[in-house]
Amino acid sequence: MKPYQITLLKMGETRVPSAEVYWMDRLIGWEDLAFWACLIYNGERRVLLNTGFPRDISALHEHWTTWAKAATGEFGHVPVVKPDNWIVTALAAHGVSAEQIDDVLVTPLTAYATGGLNQFSKARFWMSRRGWIDFHAPDPEVPQLPRHIVFPPEVLQYLTMEAAGRVHLLPDEPVEFIDGIQSWFCGAHHRSSMVFNIRTSVGSVAITDAIFKYRNFEQRIPLGISESLQEHYRLYAQLTRTADLVVPLYDPQVAVRHPSLRIGELC
């Protein structure tokens, strides 16, 4: 199997309270986040990891800013999404159409990752079985995100009707579901949070939403917005054992460490 090259696509940005990023480490202040999608290609197969925000971000804007105001007393957590951040436009800038995508991977099930799923008419969709079940049959004793913040209504309708036969649910345990791409449930951030290990010319590249910034992983600091501290520590230990390179899906420093916005070479 040919190794993949990963191209990083910026989907938008925001500023969040520091306490959301670093558990019991920074309780005041704000942190910049950048949202990344990944075009994964090996000359034969085109795979996309996450589809960014929906075209209409008003619901997410209201949800985030209302929470931030209540939590900090300040106005913030505003999603900033430029026209060229729309997933179809971002792919077109690299000469790729939505119809050319063979598979779409999603982590987590939240609108900033699921927002463009309904643009892909031929792709197979891969997401956490646990997260999909948690969305459709939530534990009544555990607080949940509003349903429209997980899937924009038009995206949910698309996945459960027109594209239902192309939705594939991934188990918790590690599985190589596409040649050269392995998934496993990590949790920690959401019940739908996954790690995707991509085989590249520079080794195994692990990509996950359960690490916001490099500092989370490198200094072993769980997210402040964490559903399980234990899962965070287990995630860090597992990545140390299995990954040659870790890419956090929300760190602006991704563009500094990978200025070409590419990881690996096509062989």
Please give the pLDDT value at position 267: 84
Q: 201 — phi, psi (to 5°)?
A: -70, -15
Write down the pLDDT at residue 206.
Answer: 98
The answer to whether the beta carbons of residues 28 and 71 sit under 8 Å apart is: no
Strand-strand pairing, 262-263 and 245-248: unpaired
Q: Using CA atoms, how far apart are residues 80 and 33, in angstroms rounded to an integer?
A: 10
Q: Does residue 108 have a cis bond before it (omega within 30 degrees)?
A: yes
Q: Is 103 in contact with 123 (CB distance < 8 Å)? A: yes
Per-residue confidence (pLDDT) for residue 183, from 0 to 100 = 98
What number of CA atoms fall less than 13 Å from residue 157's CA on the CB side? Answer: 3
* Contact by Cβ (8 Å): 40, 49: yes
Q: What is the pTM of this model?
A: 0.97
- Per-residue model confidence as pLDDT tens for the chain (267 residues): 899 999 999 999 999 999 999 999 989 999 999 999 999 999 999 999 999 999 999 999 999 999 999 999 999 999 999 999 999 999 999 999 999 999 999 999 999 999 999 999 999 999 999 999 999 999 999 999 999 999 999 999 999 999 999 999 999 999 999 999 999 999 999 999 999 999 999 999 999 999 999 999 999 999 999 999 999 999 999 999 999 999 999 999 999 999 999 999 998
Q: Where are the domains of the chain?
A: 5-262
CATH class of 5-262: alpha beta
**pLDDT score at 1:** 80
